[in-house]
Amino acid sequence: MTVTISILGAPGSGKSTISKLLANKLNASLHVEPWEENEYIPRSIAGEPVTFQAQQKMIELTTKQEIEASQSGKPYAIIDGGREQTMGFARMYGELGTLRPSEYQQIACSLIDSYLKIAPPDIMVYLNVSPHIAIERIRSRGRSFESAYTEDFIELLQRCIMQGDYTRVIAVDANGTIRDVLRHLERVITSQKY
């Protein structure tokens, strides 16, 4: 049995870095957030009104990603982001009015339907980081599509991610060093009974 672990958090929380390092440390398969495969993301960033299509596509892509993770054959599979991360973005876009209520409901139904294909991850790790530190990290990596992110945006997204109905969530303070976060997660994950 492969234990699937989804790493959740706002941009700048260290999801990708922690996912890669944790996968290496646990000899786990790594499943990177497939946002680059979503043809609607660049269009959404450019201002086109395709938020609904982008979120629906992410549910489809992350469901596929989680199925592949569960079939990896390794003891652990690390998922950078995942379906619950996508729902956090959808909740936020709903609050901001970028998604109509009916569109949000369709995305929520797609998430529920996805659970018929693959159960939620065995463990969800939420990397909690201060919005100020997240923005510093975002600015240092220089991705142009993230340049409009503000501390208020990060704070809202964090709240929306954590509104999900999760079980087995490990909340981790990600304000410190990556090494400290990684050491803590490795200890907690390997001590769990599955």
Domains of the chain: 3-191 (3.40.50.300)
pLDDT of residue 169: 84
pLDDT higher than 90, residue 30: yes
Q: How confident is the model at residue 136 (pLDDT cuts 50, 70, 90)?
A: very high
CB 16 within 8 A of CB 82: no
What spatial distance separates the first Cα and last Cα of the chain, rounded to whole Å? 9
Measured distance CA(163)–CA(160) in Å, rounded: 5
pLDDT higher than 80, residue 192: no
Strand 76-80 and strand 3-8: the pairing is parallel
CB 174 within 8 A of CB 131: no
The residue to which tokens 């646990």 are assigned? 26
State mean pLDDT over 107-136: 94
- At residue 71, the 3 state secondary structure works out as coil
Q: How confident is the model at residue 167 (pLDDT cuts 50, 70, 90)?
A: low
